Chain A
Amino acid sequence: MTLSSRRILPLLLIAFSFFILSSCKDQSRKVVKIGYMNCNNEQETKHRFVPLTRYLSDKVGVEFVMVPVDTHDFEKRFNQGEFAFTHTNSLIYIVLKERKNLTLVASEKRGNFGSRSGGAIIARKGSGIEKLEQIKGKKFAFGPMLAPTGYLAEYDLMLRSGIDPEKDFASYTIPSGSFKHEKLIYGVMFGEYDVSAATLMDLEVMTKEGKITADDFTILAQTPLIPYCTFGAAANADPALVEKVRKALLELKPTDTADVDGEKVKVMKAAWIDGYEALVDKDYDPVREMAKRVNMPPYQKF
């Protein structure tokens, strides 16, 4: 071995050690996965919630990874341990609470009613359908079956009003593909359906965006307001971590940003939300009562 190679070798060893140490530093950050329920499609979910996930990583000091999940696969994938935190609608929250003792972390605020939202039953203005009693014998459309304010709440409202959706309509359907909620509203507008369920949130957003006007529809009935999107944590999740996530969500401000692909993105704006609120599990009881009356999970009886 020459003199120069004797000198170079220790230097290389030192450099290699630094490289290993720096890699260890990155890997030492704990990785925790959050499952986000797809509202419309995976691309939209990523666009909305990658900045929020980055924000949580920065605030909590844990490497959070977002996992987009189809609504119907959510329970199965959660049971398989694919993710420890959940972002779902209030019905899926209740299913996981009843069956897996999911912990309530925080409830999302969006639109006129904050952490709560509701549904409506709508008909096209001028269609001659002016009252709820008149929807019997009509063509009806619901939102996705596990949607609290696009299906559950309206189904419950009809049952409580003496209308049985299984018997009293000429037909009823659920639009296929993504953007089901918007399809319901456009479906009524363009005469595909006589009447439909519609979430108040979609009516509000589409009106603000100028896609529809209030004069396009007659609102035949409105459901009670219930909690909507909800963050939860697995029962075995570290309580200190759960508390940190809750605190970070409740402290989220409109000015908070996250780095996404080298760009600073406003977290709340990207996620279409107005913040988070600390509801308690009891606040979800109206959803439980609806699910029981409509015979839906987790209370479904065959």
Chain B
Amino acid sequence: MKFDRFDRLIIVFLLLTIVGLSLLLSRTIPERTTKIETRNMERELAAQARQALLDKLYSPVAASMQAGQMQEALLKLEEINVRYPGEAHGFILKGEIFDRLGVPDKAAASLVQGVKLNGDYIDKRSSVSRRDLITRLVDSTLPGAVSAYRNSPVNAVLKENLANLNYLKSRLAGGCE
């Protein structure tokens, strides 16, 4: 096989292309990693900022809850809910208050609303996780809710409560929204 000048020229161009691509790739990969890191950091920052805002915003509610003043906590929550009516954290706190007031059906309904809005509340690795509370609520009330519904299957309220508890159970088991 004989190489003429034109073949040599093509080989040179091919080599140059390979060298060029290698250089380009070697520069691009670290850049990508940086982008991913940046995105992770941005996500982390957003999560921390949200957590700080929630802590500040709902601190009066948390203080009343800590003092055992559940009704006062509920009223403080109402005040905040006027400004932030669809905030998942508000529903979660309401669920906690209802649980401590001994109203498990209302607690389940509020927790469902919160978890539907933000799955972090059921994620065990999340800083805002309420997984323990939800697990305890489901474990302690689901059997009673099942038998109550079986005794009165036409009762819409019992049916709704059972549906809420089953929803929380499925989310605890890893089911998605």
A→B interface (CB under 8 Å): 112-115, 120, 200, 203-204, 207-208, 210, 213-215, 217-219, 222, 225, 250, 277-278
- Given contacts A204-B75, A219-B71, A278-B155, is CB(A114)–CB(B106) below 8 Å? yes
Q: Which residues of A contact B155 (CB under 8 A)?
A: 278
- Given contacts A210-B82, A213-B79, A214-B72, is CB(A277)–CB(B103) below 8 Å? no
Residue from A115, A207, A225 with most neighbouring chain B CB atoms (10 Å): A207
Structural contact, B79 and A225, CB atoms closer than 8 A = no
Structural contact, B106 and A214, CB atoms closer than 8 A = no
Min CB distance A207 to B, Å, is 5
User: CB-nearest residue of chain A relative to B158?
Assistant: A278
Which of A203, A204, A208, A277 meets B157, CB within 8 Å? A277
Q: Which residues of A contact B106 (CB under 8 A)?
A: 112-114
Give CA–CA (A225, B60) in the complex, Å.
Answer: 24
Residue from B70, B72, B103, B154 with most neighbouring chain A CB atoms (10 Å): B72
Structural contact, B82 and A219, CB atoms closer than 8 A = no
Contact with A along B132-147 (1 / 0, CB 8 A): 0000000000000000
Structural contact, A278 and B78, CB atoms closer than 8 A = no
Structural contact, A120 and B78, CB atoms closer than 8 A = no
Which of A115, A120, A213, A278 meets B71, CB within 8 Å? A120
User: CB-nearest residue of chain B relative to A208?
Assistant: B78
Give CA–CA (A114, B71) in the complex, Å.
Answer: 15
Query: Which residues of B from 105 to 135 have beta carbons under 8 Å from A?
Result: 106
User: CB-nearest residue of chain A relative to B82?
Assistant: A208
- Given contacts A214-B72, A219-B69, is CB(A204)–CB(B78) below 8 Å? yes
Which of A113, A200, A210, A214 meets B76, CB within 8 Å? A214
Give CA–CA (A210, B79) in the complex, Å.
Answer: 8
Q: Which residues of B contact A277 (CB under 8 A)?
A: 156-157
User: CB-nearest residue of chain A relative to B80?
Assistant: A214
User: CB-nearest residue of chain A relative to B70?
Assistant: A222
Q: Which residues of A contact B157 (CB under 8 A)?
A: 114-115, 277-278
> Is B74 located at the chain interface by the 8 A CB criterion?
yes
Give CA–CA (A208, B69) in the complex, Å.
Answer: 19
Min CB distance B75 to A, Å, is 4
Structural contact, A112 and B156, CB atoms closer than 8 A = no
- Given contacts A113-B103, A210-B82, A225-B103, is CB(A250)–CB(B156) below 8 Å? yes
Having A114-B157, A213-B79, A222-B70, one finds 17 other A-B pairs with CB under 8 Å, namely A112-B74, A113-B103, A113-B106, A115-B157, A200-B71, A204-B74, A204-B75, A207-B78, A208-B78, A214-B60, A214-B72, A214-B76, A215-B60, A219-B72, A250-B156, A278-B155, A278-B157
Q: Which residues of A contact B75 (CB under 8 A)?
A: 203-204, 207, 214
Q: Which residues of B contact A278 (CB under 8 A)?
A: 154-157
Contact with A along B146-177 (1 / 0, CB 8 A): 00000000111100000000000000000000
Q: Which residues of A contact B72 (CB under 8 A)?
A: 214, 217-219
Give CA–CA (A277, B106) in the complex, Å.
Answer: 14
Contact with A along B58-77 (1 / 0, CB 8 A): 00100010000111101110
User: CB-nearest residue of chain A relative to B97?
Assistant: A112
Give CA–CA (A222, B72) in the complex, Å.
Answer: 10
Give CA–CA (A219, B79) in the complex, Å.
Answer: 16
Q: Which residues of A contact B103 (CB under 8 A)?
A: 113, 225
Q: Which residues of B contact A213 (CB under 8 A)?
A: 79
Q: Which residues of A contact B82 (CB under 8 A)?
A: 208, 210
User: CB-nearest residue of chain B relative to A280?
Assistant: B152
